[in-house]
Amino acid sequence: MRDVAAQPAITPNIEDYDSVYNFFNWEIAYRGLNGLPSGNGLNMAYEAVERHAEVSIKNHTALRFIKSDRTTIDISYAELSRLSNQFANLLNFLGVAKGETVFTLTGRIPELYIAAFGTLKKLALFCPLFSVFGPEPIYQRLSRGNAKILVTTLDLFTTKVKPLLDRLPALSHVLITDIEKDIDDLAISLPLRMSKASSAFTIPDTKPTDDALLHFTSGTTGMPKGAVHVHGAVLTHLVTGKQVLDFHPGDIYWCTADPGWVTGTSYGIISPLVNGVTSIIDEEEFDATRWYSVLEEHKVSIWYTAPTAIRRLMRMNIEPKKQFNLEHLRMILSVGEPLHADAVKWCQKTFEVPVLDNWWQTETGGIMISNFRSLPVRPGSMGKPLPGVKAAIAAVTESSIQIIKEPDKEGHLVLKRGWPSMFKTYLHEDERYAKCFRGEWYLTGDLARCDADGYYWFVGRADDIIKTSGHMVGPFEVESSLMEHWAVSEAAVIGKPDPLIGEIVKAFIVLKSGTTINENLKLDIMAHARKKLGAAVAPKEISIVASIPKTRSGKILRRLLKARELGLPEGDLSTLEPS
């Protein structure tokens, strides 16, 4: 037994970015956690749940679930410890071995979160899937991940999983959350089995390099890749929780992402609990009024969401501060896509709190570049690297890398190996993994620039870069300027092959509601873009569309727009959000 309060302040909340950046050291942060007499190495579930279940905050709410009908279920740290112990014992009983895979396919219900921590305690590999996936994407992921156990609901089992069983020979049990009795030897009742399992469990010794999580990427640029993460990643979740999300005791925090997307796990499950705050989980999908009510009713202080949601809020005719009491809200954070300057400004004006964009990927496991409370926000910038993270802009070839020191030059965004949540591999794709590195540097696949003060600015994904008349054009820049036009609500641009100039910039635009479409408006938008960007970079073609195809995590699927434009096969659409 030891008191969290007695631990050394290994990762202070950032008051002075520069001094923390200069002196931060992962090794010291690691020893701060691991040097304590936990006897459990660095197990994610230990750090997130057990560490708190033993001390004064054990009766604090760890997870608060808001059900569709707005009723709530609160689970304290101590209860979560017992429940996840039962789940770990159940895995033992079912013969699950270290490193075998446990999947969930459910909505955001307590069982998902209990399974996550139980699996981590058991040292099996945890992989949450979006419940809205169709049977084929589910099959693809379960088979690639060699699923041994699947936790799901009766409805999802019957409609989506049952037809796949013949093709999933490694699947030994399906644990169904909402039946009282087993169906057969394979499909068994989770509540029944949990009730028989002991609530005491000793976490085996865990090495920071032991596998913990499997996460499929969003599939924005192609077939989703399975990134494997290790238990040591929890250190990033701890540190970013303090330094970026600014967690303080008593905070009520809400991450709107589903755990099927890495944000919903790293920052919807692990980070808030490692930092001992209360995490809100809403079972429902986006609804502006409901979201504002959640912020008000649950006194949310820190809110982590995505640009796609912010844009949807911007489109509504709601003045949140007038209609809702948001006095507890201290900070908004955004990730997943660029948060264009207009959205930053709208948030600042509307909520009157800091709005911090941050950048990271499934592969990085946690936030790598961010705006910080202690730094002035530059609207449109992703911010600065996290203390302990070395980022750079580089010129990259098949075999070499050259770091560009000069400010404001565009190039590949690269990170120096060595942060704790760096992915361990791509599942079954070691060669592809190896190709992501040039010596000490990890290539993110994104292009960016760094200004003279060290702020990073997103340019685009290397795959989306448009080559027009000898210019390299990043979609972000063009989309940002289009969105500054009064009539434009959303924009996505692609390169369309052209025999004369390589590619032309083509834009797809969603107009603000109530705007009438006519040729003059298109010409006006083009003229606006030309004025802002110059004739070479401005779109030469514009299509007005009702919606822009996006992934479930809110990312623009430019490859799909391009395939449709060119009449090519549409590729993997497993993560496409239905419009």
Q: For residues 265 and 237, what is the distance between their CA atoms, to the nearest angstrom?
A: 10
Closer residue to ligand ATP in complex, CB, 191/445? 445
Q: For residues 238 and 276, what is the distance between their CA atoms, to the nearest angstrom?
A: 10
> Would the CA dihedral through 161, 165, 169, 172 be positive or negative?
positive
Please identify, among the stretches 98-106, 342-350, 359-367, 541-549, the one whose residues bind ligand ATP according to the rule CB under 6 A: 359-367
Residue 224 interface partner, choices Mg ion, ligand ATP, none, CB cut-off 5-8 Å depending on type:
ligand ATP
Q: Which residues have C-beta within 8 Å of that of residue 193, sequence separation ≥ 6?
A: 90, 93, 175
Residues that bind Mg ion (CB under 5 A): 217
Task: Kindly tell me which residue out of 11, 104, 131, 221 binds ligand ATP, with binding defined by CB under 6 A.
Answer: 221
Residue 464 interface partner, choices ligand ATP, Mg ion, none, CB cut-off 5-8 Å depending on type:
none
Binding residues among 417-476 for ligand ATP as defined by CB under 6 A: 444-446, 458, 461
Secondary structure class of 288 (helix, strand, coil): helix
Question: Shortest distance, CB of residue 213 to Mg ion, whole angstroms?
Answer: 16
Between vectors from CA 478 to CA 472 and to CA 479, what angle results, nearest 5°?
Answer: 135
Please identify, among the stretches 148-156, 220-228, 246-254, 386-394, the one whose residues bind ligand ATP according to the rule CB under 6 A: 220-228
Which of 507, 446, 513, 503 shows the shortest CA–CA distance to 481? 507
Secondary structure class of 81 (helix, strand, coil): helix
Closer residue to ligand ATP in complex, CB, 29/448? 448
Task: Kindly tell me which residue out of 21, 113, 126, 359 binds ligand ATP, with binding defined by CB under 6 A.
Answer: 359
Residue 208 interface partner, choices Mg ion, ligand ATP, none, CB cut-off 5-8 Å depending on type:
none
Closer residue to ligand ATP in complex, CB, 121/215? 215
Residue 458 interface partner, choices Mg ion, ligand ATP, none, CB cut-off 5-8 Å depending on type:
ligand ATP
Task: Kindly tell me which residue out of 105, 382, 492, 561 binds ligand ATP, with binding defined by CB under 6 A.
Answer: 382
Closer residue to ligand ATP in complex, CB, 104/361? 361
Question: Shortest distance, CB of residue 448 to ligand ATP, whole angstroms?
Answer: 9
Closer residue to ligand ATP in complex, CB, 465/545? 465
Closer residue to ligand ATP in complex, CB, 123/494? 494
Closer residue to Mg ion in complex, CB, 217/263? 217
Paired strand residues for 303: 254, 332
Q: For residues 537 and 505, what is the distance between their CA atoms, to the nearest angstrom?
A: 7
Closer residue to ligand ATP in complex, CB, 2/432? 432
Amino acid at 114: I
Question: Shortest distance, CB of residue 337 to ligand ATP, whole angstroms?
Answer: 5
Task: Kindly tell me which residue out of 189, 218, 350, 480 binds ligand ATP, with binding defined by CB under 6 A.
Answer: 218
Question: Shortest distance, CB of residue 189 to ligand ATP, whole angstroms?
Answer: 34
Question: Shortest distance, CB of residue 361 to Mg ion, whole angstroms?
Answer: 5
For residues 468 and 503, the answer to whether their CB atoms sit within 8 Å is: yes
For residues 84 and 47, the answer to whether their CB atoms sit within 8 Å is: no
DSSP 213-271: EEEE---SSSSPPEEEEEGGGHHHHHHHHHHTS---TT-EEEE---TTSHHHHIIIIIH
Residue 382 interface partner, choices ligand ATP, Mg ion, none, CB cut-off 5-8 Å depending on type:
ligand ATP
Question: Shortest distance, CB of residue 259 to ligand ATP, whole angstroms?
Answer: 13
Question: Shortest distance, CB of residue 216 to ligand ATP, whole angstroms?
Answer: 8
Give the CA count within 13 Å in the CB-facing half-sphere of 244.
31
Question: Shortest distance, CB of residue 128 to ligand ATP, whole angstroms?
Answer: 14
Going by their DSSP bridges, the two strands 466-468 and 302-305 should be labelled as unpaired
What ranges make up the beta strands (E) of 37-133?
A: 61-66, 72-76, 101-105, 125-129
Residue 497 interface partner, choices ligand ATP, Mg ion, none, CB cut-off 5-8 Å depending on type:
none
Binding residues among 297-356 for ligand ATP as defined by CB under 6 A: 335-338
Q: For residues 395 and 385, what is the distance between their CA atoms, to the nearest angstrom?
A: 19
Question: Shortest distance, CB of residue 189 to Mg ion, whole angstroms?
Answer: 38
Between vectors from CA 272 to CA 268 and to CA 277, what angle results, nearest 5°?
Answer: 130
Distances (CA, A) of 216 to 149, 152, 225, 322: 17, 18, 5, 40
- Helices then strands, counting H and E runs in the chain, come out as 20, 28
Per rule CB under 6 A, is residue 220 in the interface with ligand ATP? yes
With tokens 């019957």, the residue in question is: 158
Question: Shortest distance, CB of residue 57 to ligand ATP, whole angstroms?
Answer: 31
Three-state secondary structure string covering 458-477:
EEEEHHHCEEECCEEECHHH
Q: How many beta carbons lie within 10 A of that of residue 397, not counting itself?
A: 8
Please identify, among the stretches 100-108, 115-123, 222-230, 484-492, the one whose residues bind ligand ATP according to the rule CB under 6 A: 222-230
| Residue closest to Mg ion (Cβ) | 217
With tokens 């890398």, the residue in question is: 401
Task: Kindly tell me which residue out of 362, 381, 480, 574 binds ligand ATP, with binding defined by CB under 6 A.
Answer: 362
Per rule CB under 6 A, is residue 104 in the interface with ligand ATP? no
Letters for 547-576 (x = contact with ligand ATP by CB under 6 A, - = none) are ------x-x---------------------
Binding interface with ligand ATP (CB under 6 A): 217-222, 224-225, 262, 335-338, 357-359, 361-362, 382, 444-446, 458, 461, 553, 555
